[in-house]
Amino acid sequence: MTEKLQSAFKKLTGKGKLSESDVKEAMRDVRMALLEADVNYAVVKEFVNKVTEKAIGQGVLESLTPGQQVIKIVNEQLIELMGSSQSKIKWASAPPTVIMMVGLQGSGKTTTSAKLAGYLAKQGKNPLLVACDIYRPAAVKQLQIVGQKVNIPVFSLEGANPVAISQQALEYAKKHSNDVVILDTAGRLHIDDEMMQELEDIKSSVHPDEILLVVDAMTGQDAVNVAKNFNERLAIDGVVLTKLDGDTRGGAALSVKAVTGKPIKFVGMGEKLDDLEPFHPDRIASRILGMGDVLTLIEKAQAAVDEKKAMELENKLRNQQFTLEDFLDQLHEIKKMGPLSQIMDMLPGINAKKMGKIQVDDKELGRIEAIINSMTKQERREPAIINGSRRRRIAKGSGTTIQEVNRLLKQFEETKRLMRQFTSMEKSGRRGMLKLPF
């Protein structure tokens, strides 16, 4: 999906100006990418409509960077689709908090119960695991084994039914100051009435604070249908999406919230017992878009670079009027975005390599500023006149060395050359991924 989306976006950022039909064409590609990733059909339809509407309205197409604006809208919609912000566990006002884990057999329920217990213990909680699956003797044993691995006690009771086990586990927890009780209930291969009835009985007898449904991401839309069914019967509070490490498509992650109305709270990222992570919609969205932190950079650049100035700069470059004064201005603009090393890191591969030639750290920025400030106005505008004796004077005046002055002048020439390259790329219609002034 990431590759498909990126090629759709390349078409957008590859053009200086966008038309409505460019956006519509890109959205057709986005639609295909989502459908192929096994995202629910109705979800895809609504998603594409929303993005198109936002991209065509709001003056996006008239902006200086329409392609990037569209990517930003896609990113924002993806985040919204997955529930906007991280959804946390609801804690009981008086301990113990009861978390009831439900799900089909093989979804990863027992493993996830232990993972969650271990995760909460690391946060200072004192969890108790409860074996409610009385139908498979191996299930109790399995919970004991994983419980031991994460160093969490496991409550079990032979010969009792799941409701009685849950109730007694609660009593036990109160006595032993366990502030979280995690019920590992029985699953089935398929949804059946008997299982649902048992879960409803447990629910109405212990009133869990949180019902977490465990579903297997690799089953794609089946996982979403399972979630829909469980939610209709049990009114779950959230979903744990397991085996996301093996899910190359991401359809379930994108559809669960939209289809069930319930958020994904955690994701399983592997078989090891510490492979459980809170679900962050924004991080998953940028992972799906395959852009790492480029989106953050777009936002930072937008906040820092004023479009009018950027336009002026472009004109100067076109007319070969870029001076050391502009260079200094640019350095200031970049400084506003945060530490330079961080910005360099955020650039996508190809640009990072190009930019890497111009290594500027924050300390060096101060020196560059001093050097440029020691130049006369004429020198800043016409660096070509800076001969040997002028270089000596500038070095002395700025408290730097001639080598440093030489290096700066070389960097300036290199920047000018790179920027010319970027602008000619734009002219020929191959706009760079990011229009950074540097």
Residues in the annotated binding site for GTP: 103-110, 184-188, 242-245
- As to burial, measured by CB atoms within 10 angstroms (0-12 exposed, 13-18 middle, 19+ buried), residue 2 is middle
CB 147 → ligand GDP: shortest distance, Å?
Answer: 12
- Report the distance separating Cα 26 and Cα 276, nearest Å: 35
- Report the distance separating Cα 394 and Cα 248, nearest Å: 57
Stretch near ligand GDP under the rule CB under 6 A, chosen from 72-80, 268-276, 368-376, 378-386 = 268-276
- Report the distance separating Cα 434 and Cα 159, nearest Å: 66
Decide if residue 246 touches ligand GDP (CB under 6 A): yes
DSSP letters spanning 365-376: HHHHHHHHHTS-
Q: Are 101 and 185 in contact (CB under 8 A)?
A: yes
Q: Considering just the CA atoms, what is the radius of gyration of the chain in Å?
A: 29
| Closest CA relative to residue 60, chosen from 15, 20, 98 | 20
CB 284 → ligand GDP: shortest distance, Å?
Answer: 15
- Which CB sits closer to ligand GDP, 245 or 314? 245
CB 44 → ligand GDP: shortest distance, Å?
Answer: 25
User: In this structure, are strands 276-278 and 264-268 parallel, antiparallel, or unpaired?
Assistant: antiparallel
Decide if residue 369 touches ligand GDP (CB under 6 A): no
# binding residues, ligand GDP (CB under 6 A): 18
Reported as type and span, the H/E element at residue 251 is helix 251-260
Taking CB under 6 A as the criterion, the residue among 40, 75, 77, 110 binding ligand GDP is 110
- Which CB sits closer to ligand GDP, 8 or 130? 130
Taking CB under 6 A as the criterion, the residue among 271, 274, 312, 325 binding ligand GDP is 271
- Six-digit token pair at 424? 């000619």
Taking CB under 6 A as the criterion, the residue among 108, 147, 238, 437 binding ligand GDP is 108
Site for ligand GDP in 226-245 (CB under 6 A): 242-243, 245
- Which CB sits closer to ligand GDP, 232 or 271? 271
Question: Other CB atoms closer than 10 Å to residue 150's CB: what's the count?
Answer: 20
Decide if residue 270 touches ligand GDP (CB under 6 A): yes
CB 139 → ligand GDP: shortest distance, Å?
Answer: 7
CB 146 → ligand GDP: shortest distance, Å?
Answer: 8
- Which CB sits closer to ligand GDP, 112 or 398? 112
C-alpha distance across the termini of the chain, in Å: 31
- Which CB sits closer to ligand GDP, 244 or 419? 244
Decide if residue 103 touches ligand GDP (CB under 6 A): yes
CB 256 → ligand GDP: shortest distance, Å?
Answer: 15
Decide if residue 250 touches ligand GDP (CB under 6 A): no
- Report the distance separating Cα 282 and Cα 239, nearest Å: 17
Binding mask 179-218 for ligand GDP (x = CB under 6 A): --------x-------------------------------
| Closest CA relative to residue 165, chosen from 186, 196, 193 | 186
- Which CB sits closer to ligand GDP, 67 or 208? 208
Reported as type and span, the H/E element at residue 264 is strand 264-268
Taking CB under 6 A as the criterion, the residue among 31, 72, 109, 125 binding ligand GDP is 109
| C-alpha dist (Å) from residue 252 to 39, 75, 290, 374, 382 | 7, 17, 18, 60, 59
Map tokens 């945060």 to a residue: 338
Contact set with ligand GDP (CB under 6 A): 103, 105-111, 187, 242-243, 245-246, 268-271, 275
